[in-house]
Amino acid sequence: MKKTPLEEWIVKRTGISPANRNELESYQFKKMIETLNYAKENSPFYQKQLNGIDLEKISTWDDIKKLPFTTGEDIKTEPFEFLCIPQSRIDRIVTLNTSGTSGNKKRIFFTDHDLQKTVDFFDYGMRSLVDSADRVMVLLPGQSYGSIGNLLKKALERTSTACLVFGLLTDLDAAEKMIIENEINCIVGIPIQVLYLSRIKKDGFKRIEKVLLSTDYVPQAMVKELNQKFGCQVFNHYGMTEMGYGGGVECEALNGYHLREGDLYFEIVDPVSGSSVPDGVYGEIVFTSFNREAMPLIRYRTGDIGAFSRTKCQCGTFLRTMKKVEGRINNRIQLQDDVFVDLKELEEILLAVEELVDYQVTIKEKAIVRIEVSFYHDEQSEETEKQIKVRLEAYFQEKCRLSIQVEVERKQLQKPDQLVNSMIKRKIRDQRVAEGDQ
């Protein structure tokens, strides 16, 4: 098994001795202090946030763990306060669609230098799964400068790996045509879109040997299906725009991500108390960025659930491994006293249903859960609807010892262009509270 290429990359970029964990951690500590000073000097937000904290007195990781967190809400409230450079030096702004009633939008800023660091990570990250003999199709936005597809293409050019950026999946026929005509054998895309393409365009998809899934939680049922039906190796990438898109990628062991440890410092904390949890225990993923010019982030709470692996990866690297992300914290909703519904678990059941293309879960009342489903073969759907109802009711009975009534409602299959909306990270709707409170 090939060792993660991120190891060689991180050693080279940080200048540490090979396989020396202590040196890497000293490097990270030095970068942490640098980031704190840079942010406090240059960003109005961190001037306030770190006011009264004597940075010269920070000498241990325990001191770091006492620093305040940064939240998505902070960015939404005053994005420009995070800027460490004049606005004229910004090369890319990403506006994220976020739910909520405030009307404020999350804006993330990058300089060209920040974007080049992402290209560098994508270059080595992609070497985990491809080399110059492979031909890659990217089902992510790639038209504009600094978009994720655009950066990925630049990264693959460095290793002379063929890369075609298709964009989000809006036209299934065109996507299949591109695969066949260009002898594509690797796809990078959003989980539900890649699954959808594989279910409808089997002929084109049978050429695909490797898949890299990104931007949303990846249900195990999906990995299994791509694996069994097409013999695909399914790699997961973990990242978010706030990280500069990329955060970590799986090696050939396919058992969790190796992280961008030279550019980002990751922590896992208890979502309630905010204190660190031991390796192996799930909590909220928190990160700090290094060397970011436009908008450094310190102890940023991602809202994603993850855990560090306690064991060494089979690939033999000295880098840490983070277990696959378990979804979002706010996708676990209290049904009754100590009974919770977890979207991730429902998703595993729902996506195993072959005909299903999209769905929405709503908690209607204490004991009623509504599932809206869309299929692409309308003829057989009545039978399938019954199946879904039976499977989910059995799940609630078994898992929660509760009699929950599941209402399955069919929604018209959306046109493929509407499928673009499903890239928004899924959320359980809770009708028991006013919509605006969610």
In angstroms, give the least distance from the CB of 317 to Zn ion: 5
Residues whose CB falls within 8 Å of the CB of residue 249, separated by 6 or more in sequence, listed in order: 4, 6, 125, 128, 212, 235, 236, 237, 238, 257, 258
Residue 119 or 315: the one with the smaller Cβ distance to Zn ion is 315
CA distance 395 to 349: 9
Residue 21 or 113: the one with the smaller Cβ distance to Zn ion is 21
Q: At 334, which helix (H) or strand (E)?
A: strand 332-336
319 contributes a contact to Zn ion by CB under 5 A: no
310, two tokens:
């306690």
315 contributes a contact to Zn ion by CB under 5 A: yes
Interacting residue with Zn ion among 184, 190, 251, 419 (CB under 5 A): 251
Amino acid at 365: E
In angstroms, give the least distance from the CB of 225 to Zn ion: 24
In angstroms, give the least distance from the CB of 253 to Zn ion: 5
Interface segment toward Zn ion; rule CB under 5 A; list 75-83, 246-254, 371-379, 430-438:
246-254
Interface segment toward Zn ion; rule CB under 5 A; list 149-157, 192-200, 214-222, 308-316:
308-316
Interacting residue with Zn ion among 85, 168, 253, 349 (CB under 5 A): 253
Residues whose CB falls within 8 Å of the CB of residue 161, separated by 6 or more in sequence, listed in order: 126, 130, 131, 132, 134, 135, 136
Residue 146 or 256: the one with the smaller Cβ distance to Zn ion is 256
Residue 20 or 182: the one with the smaller Cβ distance to Zn ion is 20
Q: Mapping DSSP to helix (H, G, I), strand (E, B) and coil, where does residue 373 land?
A: strand
Cα–Cα distance list, 192 to 49, 234, 237 (Å): 39, 13, 14
Residue 191 or 256: the one with the smaller Cβ distance to Zn ion is 256
Residue 210 or 370: the one with the smaller Cβ distance to Zn ion is 210
313 contributes a contact to Zn ion by CB under 5 A: yes
In angstroms, give the least distance from the CB of 216 to Zn ion: 22
Distance of CA 415 to the CA centre of its chain: 25
Closest CA to 406 of 331, 358, 341: 341
Residues lying near Zn ion in the complex (CB under 5 A) are found at 4, 251, 253, 313, 315
